[in-house]
Amino acid sequence: MRIPLSAIEEFSFNRPPAYKQELLNAGHRVANELEIEAAICATIHVHFPPDGSSDGGRPPDPSLSELALNFLTATARWAKAGFPLRTEAETSQILTICRGSADGLQPACPEWLGDALIPRCRRCGCTALKPWLVTEKCPMQKW
């Protein structure tokens, strides 16, 4: 995958300096972009989380660039694994963990932005599509 160097600058602003250096060392530059293996990029991204001291320890919401990168990384990981999908029952079970149950007996995850224009997880930005992909998991280990 390729990431614009400008996006790396944006991702770096609230992360340790080593984050940017690790990314640059792990890939190679092609014009104004960094070419890097999606899995390596994702690992470095997770290894250096943004500072999260502004809201009781909660990390700041991902920026649009981060959401786009998360999406690209997830798609690349899924493609590399051969496009495996969860069953409808498995996906439905996961969506209940995120969105809560229709009968209200199981509350929605506090990270689920159900009222957003595009309902999604605040942590990773995933929509109701991500649980279909076998290669994806909850950033808070709930599934």
Contact stretch for ligand SF4 (CB under 6 A) within 13-21, 46-54, 85-93, 119-127: 119-127
Q: Which two tokens stand for residue 11?
A: 């991702």
Phi-psi region of 87 (alpha: psi -120 to 50; beta: other; left: phi over 0): beta
Asked if residue 73 lies in contact with residue 3, where contact means CB atoms within 8 angstroms, the answer is no
Using rule CB under 6 A, residue 111 touches ligand SF4? yes
Using rule CB under 6 A, residue 97 touches ligand SF4? yes
Using rule CB under 6 A, residue 139 touches ligand SF4? yes
- Compute the distance between CA of residue 78 and CA of residue 73 in angstroms, rounded to an integer: 9
Helix, strand or coil, per DSSP, at residue 110: coil
Interface positions, 40-79, toward ligand SF4 (CB under 6 A): none
Binding site residues, ligand SF4, CB under 6 A: 97-98, 109, 111-112, 121, 123-124, 126, 138-140, 142
